Structure 1
Amino acid sequence: MMFKNREEAGELLAQELVAFRNDPDGILLALPRGGVTVAYQLSLALHLPLDVLITRKIGAPGNPEYALGAVSETGAVYWNQEALSGLSLSERDLSIAVQAQQKEVSRRVALYRQGRPFPNLKDRSVIIVDDGLATGATFFASVATVRQAHPRRIIGAIPVGPRSTIQEARALVDQLVVLRVPDPFYAVGNFYRDFEQVEDREVLQYLNLAEEAFISNS
């Protein structure tokens, strides 16, 4: 079954997360950019604040689409050891690959946060949201980032992903809500009828609208 779009995926996830509605310690952290569209629907339905957690995939030298890992805005790095084992890369190669993505991470932090600090997650129920998992690299880096902030619990909210990645994700969080685990799995976009790229201006719009809605419902 395909999702109509990211909005529908968010609405369906919200139905599975009703236990967190109006949770005073709850917060949604969306992985930009596609995850923000999904998480916006969760924010409206669950009356929870929405923020972003900025991560970037680290691609292999000469093959940027091949995910070696991911880096988050706090500097947390996740490495896919299986992917690394098939390559002969030096520490310098890996450092250069990380630095290349940190530039884009810094750009997005400046644009999306607009001076706001990273949210305080201590003793909170943190729901990490994306529009789907493939290798899971950015999600795993995000979990590592949140774990360092000492939350009460970490919940993953994912519309779709392959079985192997979902199993790995489930082992890293306190609760994982996933709507589809198709087999075979090819790419996240194959499970959406509308999977157009989300632009920066849309991310900002969703964040602003979510803040306005949360304040009006408080």
Structure 2
Amino acid sequence: MSVFADRTDAGRRLAATLSQLETVAEPVVCAIPAGGVPPGLEVARALQAPLRMAVVRKVQIPWNPEAGFGAVTWDGRVFLNRALMAGLGLSEAEVGAAVAKARKSVEERVEMFSGGRPEPGFSGRTTILVDDGLATGYTMLAAVEAVRAGSPREVIVAVPTGSLHAVEFIARKADLVVCPNIRTGRTFAVAQAYERWHDITDREVQELLIQARDMGLF
């Protein structure tokens, strides 16, 4: 618990590990906003790699917006956890409404954070997906699958913290998972790994992207 001061500190520690890997060829860092942007910037800075936004939004459970049963990615792909949907007893109308809401959020965020730039080219490159943590891993799964469609050289998932279940789940999908803080237990919260934690605002993301642009990374 509380092993990182904040997301920036966590990103620097991730960057230190990634910098030692011999397999990282022509990297492009794709941060999942909002929480993945501070650590993603630190990784991009250390590797001198372009920083891009991998906009993924969870498809929220109607009565519990903090939880999701799927995800929508920046390229319009929809991933649904069918087993969870069945267990929740969601109607077709509820699923459709939740997907539409997530899709709209993705479109708004892509417009807000893209800076008018085209999607990053993944073909033949090492793509590093960064977030501030893995709880269930389902949002990251959607990001990995979307990146795979671009024929990358390899896909690395880099997160400061994660539940053992989520890390094992994503390790079956990515070529490599870098996660310094893996925790087990009945409950898991990403925030518990940080001394200082708050929800990153859109304004903060935009300020970080200005920093990245000034460094020639965005």
TM-score, normalised relative to structure 1: 0.91
- Looking at structure 2, the residues matched to 139 and 20 of structure 1 have their Cα atoms a distance apart, in angstroms, of 21
Q: Which amino acid aligns with 1:192?
A: Y
Partners of 1:48 and 1:214 within 8 A in 2: no
Mapping of residues 18-37 of structure 1, within 5 Å = 18-19=19-20, 25-37=26-38
**Secondary structure in structure 2 of the residue aligned to 1:115:** coil
The residue number in structure 1 matching 2:203 is 201
Give 5+ residue unaligned stretches, structure 2.
Answer: none
Identity level (%)? 36
Q: Of Structure 1 and Structure 2, which has the larger fraction of its residues in helix?
A: 1
Alpha-carbon RMSD: 1.7
Partner secondary structure for residue 172 of structure 1: coil
The reply to whether residue 120 of structure 1 matches residue 130 of structure 2 is no
2:157 is matched with 156
TM-score, length-normalised on structure 2? 0.91
Number of aligned pairs? 214
Which residue of 1 is the match for residue 181 of structure 2?
180
Partner of 1:54: 55
The residue number in structure 2 matching 1:212 is 214
Aligned to 2:89: 88
Give the distance between the partners of 2:58 and 2:203, measured in 1 at CA: 21
2:40 & 2:208 partners in 1: Cα distance?
9
1:68 CA drift (Å):
0.3
Residues 30 and 51 of structure 2 are in contact (CA less than 8 Å); yes or no, is this contact kept in structure 1?
A: yes
- Equivalent-residue separation in structure 2 for 1:91 and 1:113 (angstroms): 32
CA distance in 2 between counterparts of 1:166 and 1:106 reads 28
Q: Please say if residues 60 and 97 of structure 1, whose CA atoms lie closer than 8 Å, have aligned partners that are also in contact.
A: yes
The residue identity in structure 1 corresponding to 2:210 is N
Query: Per-residue deviation at 1:91?
Result: 3.8
Q: Which deviates further from its counterpart, 112-121 or 27-36?
A: 112-121
Task: Return the offset for 1:20.
Answer: 5.8
User: Is 2:6 the partner of 1:5?
Assistant: yes
- 1:208 Cα deviation from its structure 2 partner: 2.3
Residues 32 and 56 of structure 2 are in contact (CA less than 8 Å); yes or no, is this contact kept in structure 1?
Answer: yes
8 Å contact kept, 2:25–2:126: no
Superimposed CA distance per residue, residues 12-70 of structure 1 (whole angstroms, 9 cap, x where no aligned partner): 1011101469x662100000001000111111111111111101011122222231011
Residues of 2 paired with 1:59 and 1:49: CA distance?
31
